[in-house]
Amino acid sequence: MVELQYLLDRSEKQLEGVHATIANKAIELVKKAYNKGIAIAVTQGYRSIEYQNSLYAIGRFGNSGKKVTNAKGGSSYHNFGLAFDFCVFDDNKQPVWDGKEYSIIGQMGKDMGLEWGGDFKSIKDKPHFQITFGLTLSQLQAGKRPAGSATPTPVKKSNLLEKGASGFTVKDLQEKLIKLGYAIGKVDSEFGKLTDEAVRKFQKDNCLDADGIAGKATLAKIDELVKALTNTPTQAIKVEKAPATETKAEVIKAPPTPQKTTSGDDKVKSIQSRLNTQYATKLDVDGLYGKATKQALVKALQTELNKQYNAKLKVDGAFGKATKAKCPTVRKGAKGDITYVIQAALTCLGYDANGLDGMYGAGLEKAVKQFQKAKGLSADGIVGKDTFEKLLG
């Protein structure tokens, strides 16, 4: 079982700015739960109005992710230091977000005079506790506070993200790492083992101190690369009509024999993670390239063809005549998500696509030529309808 001191230290950090009565009860609850064999820690306490609005924006206004709250800034008891959230942790200090333990802890908190989110009528919020002291949100918004208490002051959060951290900023980090091709498993807002490994790999790849701590330099580099990726045109090259057959002859060296991935592979895991995040494909992130991952790549292609070219294809993961007919001609100089699908498909088949950055450079062109030669196509390095079909059909 996780050490009690770890749970207490983690909780105390999150309780800064929370009303003293509630903070004391939170610490007492952590201890009582521990005595019952359940490891919990506070994961969130006071939230600023700005932070609350950032949470409200998730899943809204064109932002990715599922909605995590219906409360705008000023409409949550967290914003006034009168609430906290908790999480159950396993023996490896990893969060467990469901299970009967939440109902057990809910009853324990109620016995201590806390109001439990599991009793809410609209949206059940089992990890949530609060004490309103009889005040409505309207009264709090008007400046009223519980007797004998001071208005909670915003606590300046550290810019460092490291193993054990949680919340919206960790979720943002995880999503950016996936965009850059790093495998972190699922986006769960918890800085656990996989996120730590991804940060260290990113740091190593970018000549940063590989300590697993996402500090100022690491976060700045991540933002720089994500911005560069985001600012590239979705498919920045004039689309040319694909030839009926790819017949241009070219003599190239025989390619190495590619090996289809048969065991867990980190690059395939990163592809699976990105497909899950960007296209909701619900793949097992196991690093194995099989039928499901291939279908997910086809779904990604179909989605992009619909979005970019109004192809009106059924997104079913089946590469048939309709999908082939809508495939563009993609060549060196292209950038975007369709190029990424090409890179991903070649990578899964064992070819060196020279990265997963959505950029059609010399390295990708070389891999395409090798693939074309192996499949009996004209090795011109241009991905047309026939090459798409061999890749994904």
Q: Return per-residue pLDDT of the chain as tens, 393 residues.
A: 889 998 998 898 888 889 999 999 999 999 999 999 999 999 889 888 877 787 777 777 776 667 777 788 888 999 899 999 999 999 888 888 889 999 999 999 999 999 999 998 877 889 999 999 999 999 999 988 887 554 444 444 445 677 777 666 788 898 888 888 888 877 877 788 889 889 988 888 888 888 788 888 898 888 888 887 655 444 433 343 333 333 333 344 444 444 444 446 788 888 988 898 888 888 888 888 889 999 999 999 999 898 888 889 999 999 999 999 999 999 988 888 899 999 999 998 888 888 888 888 889 999 999 999 988 999 999 999 999 999 999
> What secondary structure letter does DSSP report for 117?
G
Supply φ then ψ for residue 179, to 5 degrees.
-60, -30
Q: Which CATH superfamily is domain 168-231 in?
A: PGBD-like superfamily/PGBD (1.10.101.10)
Tokens 């023996």 map to which residue?
91
Tell me which residue of 16, 29, 23, 131 sits closest to 87, measured CA to CA.
Answer: 29
CATH entry 3.30.1380.10 includes domain 4-141:
yes
Beta strands (DSSP E) in the chain are 40-44, 83-89, 95-96, 115-116, 128-130
CATH entry 3.30.110.40 includes domain 266-392:
no
**6 close to 34: Cβ distance less than 8 angstroms:** no
Separation CA 107–CA 34 (nearest Å): 15
Evaluated on CA atoms 191, 193, 198, 201, the torsion sign reads positive
Supply φ then ψ for residue 335, to 5 degrees.
-145, 145
Separation CA 389–CA 324 (nearest Å): 7
**267 close to 279: Cβ distance less than 8 angstroms:** no
Separation CA 222–CA 94 (nearest Å): 24
Other Cβ atoms less than 10 A from the Cβ of 141: the count is 12
pLDDT at site 169? 78
Separation CA 339–CA 164 (nearest Å): 36
Tell me which residue of 186, 181, 185 sits closest to 201, measured CA to CA.
Answer: 181
Separation CA 40–CA 7 (nearest Å): 7
Helix/strand/coil for 331 = coil
359, β-bridge pairs: 335
Other Cβ atoms less than 10 A from the Cβ of 341: the count is 28
Going from N- to C-terminal start, the domains of the chain cover 4-141, 168-231, 266-392
List, in sequence order, the alpha helices (H) in the chain.
4-14, 20-35, 49-57, 101-111, 137-141, 168-179, 193-205, 216-231, 266-279, 291-309, 321-326, 337-348, 362-374, 385-392
